[in-house]
Chain A
Amino acid sequence: MTSALRQVVAIALMTFLEARRNRITMAFFFSSLVIVVSSFVFREVTTTGLDVIVRDVGLATIHLFGLILAVLLGSSVLSREIERKTLYMLITKPVSRASFAIGKISGVALTLLVTLGLMAGTFLLQQVVFGAPLGWILAQTCWLLFVQLVLVSCFAYFVSTFASPLVSAFMALGLFVVGESAGNVWTLAEHAESAPYRLLLRSICYLFPNLERMNLKSFAQVLRDVPGRTVLEQSVYGLIYIALFVSGAVLVFRRRDMK
């Protein structure tokens, strides 16, 4: 392992460990597990198919709690280091600022991977316990939700290199809302009568990542398979945006004065 990679891994593991022992992170995680596990109560109150409801509630819970965690961690992981000056002793060691910045966001991604992995595992176990049918689509959905949330987290991280955690959290939520509504925005643009308005809506579609492409919940709800190639394409699409946001964060962070 090269020296830079070893440093990135050390910082990522430290970030993960810090997040894992954080009471707020843990509270979110256990709350989400409770909701995922307790979604079977809908069996008593629904007339629709139990499997559909439980899948819907389970995946929506994973998505919602994952989003909160992604925004919280992404917007605060670097700004907390700067605000509390914990990074003074880290970046004065023989480590580049790029390695430090990549290490921090890798730690956030690792935290999301483990958290979403455990939530998804609990969800799949619940499906097995209740004898609900399983399909690859469930794993594919969880994977793409993870890619989507890492993307949102990286955007919050990028904004946090030059703005406050609150601003970066709001901007990341804005990106999520616009990105998840990309299809509707495009349809609106198609039907817009005013040319400037149409241009504005189309610009939004080109500028913002289409997060809807990474949301397969509607397919998972009815266990409709999606080709592996599609999942791969959406993953690469998400990774390109992740790389862009992380590069932006590194560029800003490298020039930043630590007052």
Chain B
Amino acid sequence: MSLPEPVVSVAGLHKTFRLGFLGRRRIEALKGVDFEVARGMIFGFLGPNGAGKSTTLKILTGLLAPSGGTAMLFGQVPDTQSVRRRYGYLPENPSFHENLTGREILRVMASLLGLDASTASRRTREVLSVAGLDRAADVQVRRYSKGMVQRLGIAQALLHDPELAILDEPMSGLDPVGRREVKELMLDLRARGRTVFFSTHIISDVEELCDQVVILVGGRVTRQGAVRDLIGQGPKQYEVVASGLPTQLPVAPARVMGDRQAFLVPDEEAARRLIEQLWAAGARVHALSVRSYNLEELFLSEVGKGPVGAAVQLD
């Protein structure tokens, strides 16, 4: 039995931008990116600003040509009309023709998507409602707030109920209510068998929503896999919480909570030795616990900032 074809497949993807008058300055935005997105999942594309997330998405949607490697959607090159009918795309910080109303813009999009008049009208109503723009549908976009523009961007991406939603920073510019609605929308899409591929630099969104994640740093994939597995991959740490410590501590605490202080050590043996030192100094030990890396710590270690609260090295 053959495996189902991935919805998105990227292999050895390179992109170099040539800048300056004669194009002599080169910026290598992508340095051999590989990953695949399977059908029916929420896939997170995580990376710091300038990591190459938007560049990858632009190549996948045909806005940019790759300098090397391949980027395929549904097993085909993305720059064909048959493929474009199957996905919806929300760019980062979307912008619209500001003298048109939200409804007029969606009508144009429906024409480009080849929807017939009745389907276009029905879907326009539906996505305006889903995006919470029913009452602003006939207002010119120049009067929209940033959050409303973002909502209209999401509405146009979902207008034809695509199999794949490619969303570049979908929660950007939204208030907490809007963010919650978009998250619910993404979960609903997955429940209906659709695939959601979204980029973000907000780690909690990935932890909350994603089945799989790729971490992109400096144009290279540094980690990829199921979120749960990635967190499990990180080194474990032992946390010792104590109080009544002498002024001269044997080690520096990772954090202070009132009269209690927490110490992080890398292994069990180090934890045992730390507890003995604390007892010998007259301190009271309240807790010893094992902590796994969370995604934020993993992400920060990938981008070279180190985990939150460095582990204590005991001599």
Which A residues are closer than 8 A to B by beta carbons? Answer: 3, 6-7, 9-11, 13-14, 17-18, 21-22, 84-86, 88-96, 257-259
Contacts and interface: CB of A to CB of B under 8 A. Distances in A.
18 contacts: A10-B111, A14-B97, A17-B100, A18-B100, A21-B140, A22-B99, A85-B94, A85-B95, A86-B96, A88-B63, A88-B91, A88-B94, A92-B62, A92-B84, A93-B84, A93-B112, A95-B84, A258-B64
Given A86-B95, A91-B62, A258-B64, 11 more contacts: A3-B114, A18-B97, A88-B63, A89-B153, A93-B113, A94-B82, A95-B81, A95-B112, A96-B81, A257-B63, A257-B64
Interface string B137-166: 000100000000000010011000000000
A10 B104 CA distance: 11
Interface in B99-113: 99-100, 104, 108-109, 111-113
Given A18-B97, A18-B100, A258-B58, A89 B85 contact: no
A92 B100 contact: no
A257 B66 CA distance: 10
B65 A257 contact: yes
Contacts of B97: 14, 18, 86
A5 to B, nearest CB: 11
Nearest to A96: B81
Contact of B91 (A22, A89, A96): A89
Nearest to B153: A89
B17 interface: yes
Contacts of A258: 58, 63-64
B212 interface: no
Nearest to A86: B95
A10 B108 contact: yes
From A88, A92, A96, residue with most partner B Cβ within 10 Å: A92
Contacts of B99: 17-18, 21-22
A221 B90 CA distance: 55
Contacts of B96: 86, 89
A65 B66 CA distance: 44
Contact of A93 (B58, B63, B64, B109): B109
B45 interface: no
B81 A94 contact: yes
Interface in B57-101: 58, 61-65, 81-82, 84-85, 89-91, 93-97, 99-100
Contacts of A3: 114
The 6 closest A-B pairs by CB, nearest first: A10-B111, A21-B99, A93-B112, A94-B81, A258-B63, A94-B84
A96 B112 CA distance: 10
Contact of A94 (B93, B108, B112, B153): B112
Contact of A90 (B64, B85, B90, B112): B112
Contacts of B140: 21
Given A86-B97, A94-B113, A259 B156 contact: no
B64 A7 contact: no
A258 B168 CA distance: 15
Nearest to B110: A10
B251 to A, nearest CB: 50
B80 to A, nearest CB: 9
A89 B92 CA distance: 11
A89 B64 contact: no
Contacts of A21: 99-100, 140
B111 A7 contact: yes
A257 B89 CA distance: 17
B100 A14 contact: yes
Contacts of B61: 92
Contacts of A84: 95
A259 B17 contact: yes
A6 B64 CA distance: 26
Contacts of B112: 7, 10-11, 90, 93-95
A245 B91 CA distance: 30
Interface in B29-78: 58, 61-65
Contacts of B109: 89-90, 93
A11 B108 contact: yes
B106 to A, nearest CB: 11
A2 to B, nearest CB: 11
B153 to A, nearest CB: 7
Contacts of B85: 94
Contacts of A85: 91, 93-95
B6 to A, nearest CB: 20
B116 to A, nearest CB: 11
A200 B140 CA distance: 52
A250 to B, nearest CB: 15
A26 to B, nearest CB: 11
Contact of B63 (A17, A92, A95): A92
